[in-house]
Amino acid sequence: MVKMKKWISKYGSYVVSIVLGWIIGSLDNFDIWIMFGDTPFLLVLFVFWGVMYLLLLLNIFIHEAGHYFFGRISGYTLVSFRVKKWIFIKEDDKIVLKRFNVPGISGACLMMPPQPFREDFPYKLYNHGGWIFNLITFAILSVILLFVPMGLELTALLYFFALIALSLALSSGIPLKTRGYPNDGYDTRSMKKSADCRRAFYMQMYIHGVFVSGVRLEDMPEEWFQHPESADSSKPLIATLDEFRCFRAFGKGETEEATRFAYELIQRPGLVEFQRNELRCVLLFNEVLSECRPEVIHSLYTKPLQKYIRRTSYMPARHRLTYALEKIYYRDDEKAMKAKKKFEKSLKAFPYRVEIEIEKKAMEEIDERALKSREQLSHIIIQGL
């Protein structure tokens, strides 16, 4: 069993690649093109990829539904349910639809774990639920395809539906990292091996649930964000809890300590790139509002970060950062006003109410800092005259 686990950990990504290759290669043996007759090839291709995308969305929904189902029977309660950019989130005991996204993560069912915390809290079923539902979907569709006669169109549809379900089950259930992102199997294995990882996972889920209910990170108890010094900080679950602690320190105004900690976290192997970019955005914003040193700003405001800012333009924080740069650093009031309008528009669909209030306050701080900076500049000019 130990040898098998090591083999899966080492070669799991290759297995997934082979399965995906099989899915693509199977097109040669499954003549679906005949059903389109003389329809132009580009139109066929457009329709084909559109259908494939819808099947993928449906499988992502099924995956997250698996997390929800097994979470519920394990004593968890729903906080938010996201597929791509659409998120259902609990707000005043109602479920509302908003827009939110995390680069590299196509869906997430986040739940509040059962209280109080126990070392043996149920985490396995909740984490395994996604790939289990995908695998069940694949099994049901396989039985239908084998024993139920149907037309070519429906056969093709169910065929690809089943293959996508299988690929998601494998890519989620086999413990591995994809582009640095740990999957459900990887996190579950980490928690099985480490009590520190179990507690870190529990606290992340709990902190997120409390945050969605309207409590700022800086207003939460400090011990929620702590872990033993012996904890392996290279593990993604431990590193993510440290990221929460860093954001909390920034929120409390402990800028010097938080800045040092943020630079340290950026070098951590346990964080994925979008987490590093979030930290860079916070560092950049604080630099603009404090010393505003050109060399520091240019070291942070790189082309990759600018690309990330554009990719996450649904977040008010991105437009707030752009507003600060244009208003204070570049002194371009026209571009600053455009950023402010985009900021106000992004607030309407953003799901986290407590963060909206934080962002509005930050915009006021930018205006105060810009006014102070211009008064200082005017004073210097008058003295020069």
* Residues ≥6 apart with Cβ < 8 Å to 152: 32, 34, 35
pLDDT in tens, 224-271: 999 999 999 999 999 999 999 999 999 999 999 999 999 999 999 889
Instruction: Give the model confidence (pLDDT) of 278-320 as tens digits.
Output: 999 999 999 999 999 999 999 999 999 999 999 999 999 999 9
Contact 272, 288 (CB under 8 A): no
Domains along the sequence of the chain with CATH: 2-189 (no CATH), 190-384 (1.25.40)
pTM for this model (two decimals): 0.86
The helix/strand/coil state of 109 is: strand
Encoded amino acid at 230, one letter: S
Query: pLDDT tens-digit profile of 159-176?
Result: 899 999 999 999 999 999
pLDDT at 44 (0 to 100)? 64
